[in-house]
Amino acid sequence: MLRPYIETPKDKLKIGATIGPWVVRERLVSQQQVVGESGSFFSRGYIVENDKGESAFLKAMDYKTAMVLYQHLSPTDAMLQIATDIAFEKKVAMHCRRMSRVITAIDEHTLNSGSLDEWVECIIFEKAEGHIRKFIDFSKELDAIFILKALHNTCVGLSQLHTNGMAHEDVKPSNVMVMNRAEKHSAKIGDLGRIVVKDPSVFGLSKTPAHFNYAFPGDKDYAPPEAMYRARLDMDEFQHRVICDLFQFGSLVYFCFVNVTMPAALLHYTHVDHQPANKGYFEAIPYLHAALNEALRDLELASPPFIKDELVQIVQELCNPDYRLRGHPRDIRGRSYSPSLHRYHPILNRLLRKTTMQVERSA
């Protein structure tokens, strides 16, 4: 059930109000929020503009909304936790500024008038045109070039995060931001609110953000099977978080062509006796493999014929239901187990070129 929405300070920035060099131009309603929002209604989006006429996206967060999330804590602890969460997101956003395929934070401000309840924390990000879902039009012929380009960019963005000791944890269509479709087809990975870092001390916080304690902090609709089965894993925690990103990226590839998320496809093809309510994760793995095999058949049917084998290969490696085997075979073979998305950049690039040539040829 949807909770009735009650406006809080983050929703009340006035049009024309000035925040540092930025002027608020537009308040976004939920469906228009280009960056931000992971379903928690923790933030509100605005379009702002500076004196050079450059537009940007402002993500406003406040303490009042966040308090609802921590009702189980004492008011002091809740406040401390909220402050940590917000400070973390701000620091992460600023930390990622040099990453070319990650939505970049340009600026940050705190509107600290009145009591803490009234404070609004603002992060200003570069503005995207919208998320990928807005641009994939299933009712028209599949725009494979656009999709592959966006997937390639997302893959690079996630690798940039991983290389810097960060796991995104919330890869899904609404978090893939299309930057300038008309000219470059470029995309970036956005919404860094669920990021988990390998070494929190880098950010100099006395406390870790609340979502660090979750086995899987991202949107449950896109969770990997080990999270759905609530498995206890025998693996370095951060490494597993990177592996979750791998699954989610594979699921994104799958969704772009099949129009179904991978968790839903796996559930559909898994017999009820082998679903989470009736079987443990490790016992269910052979049957999840069988389910993935069926799901891959749908991908085969839905993909452009000239790249279907490669797409099936990518998805079967990235969505391997056994988290210990997820990733490129060269990364998981032998002693140096180090799953990553690096090896998929050239593969996606090759698919993009192949598709472009094919489209040009048929044109």
Binding string, residues 172-201; x marks residues near another protein by CB under 8 A:
-xx---------------------------
Q: Token digits for 55?
A: 């537009």
Regarding 301 and contact with another protein (CB under 8 A), the answer is: yes
Residue 229 in the binding site for another protein (CB under 8 A): yes
Residues 30-59 that bind another protein (CB under 8 A): 30-31, 37-39, 41
Residue 9: DSSP 8-state: G
Under the binding rule (CB under 8 A), the answer on residue 316 touching another protein is: yes
- Interaction mask 129-158, another protein, x per CB under 8 A: ----xx-xxxxx------------------
Shortest CB 324 distance to another protein, Å: 12
> Are residues 63 and 117 in contact, defined by beta-carbon separation less than 8 angstroms?
yes
User: What is the C-alpha to C-alpha distance for residues 273 and 291, in angstroms, rounded to an integer?
Assistant: 13
235 contact partners, CB below 8 Å, separation of at least 6: 243, 323, 324
Q: Do residues 118 and 168 touch, judged by C-beta distance below 8 A?
A: no
The residue count of the chain comes to: 363
CB atoms within 10 A of CB 223: 22
Starting from the edge strand earliest in sequence, which strands make up the sheet with 176-180, in order?
130-131, 176-180, 186-189
Residue 29 in contact with another protein, rule: CB under 8 A: yes
| Shortest Cβ 142–another protein spacing (Å) | 9
* Ranges within 250-279 binding another protein (CB under 8 A): 255, 258-261, 263-265, 267-268, 271, 273-274, 276-279
User: Interface with another protein includes 287 (CB under 8 A)?
Assistant: yes
Q: What is the 3-state secondary structure (H, E, C) of 230-242?
A: CCCCCCCHHHHHH
Instruction: Specify whether the CB–CB gap between 171 and 273 falls below 8 A.
Output: no
> Any idea which residue has 């269910």 for tokens?
284
Least distance from C-beta 172 to another protein, angstroms?
Answer: 9
Structure letter (DSSP) for residue 2: P
From the list 85-93, 215-223, 333-341, 342-350, the region that binds another protein by CB under 8 A is 215-223
The residues binding another protein (CB under 8 A) are: 1-3, 29-31, 37-39, 41, 133-134, 136-140, 173-174, 219-221, 223, 227-230, 255, 258-261, 263-265, 267-268, 271, 273-274, 276-280, 283, 285-287, 289-290, 292-293, 295-298, 300-302, 312, 316, 320, 325
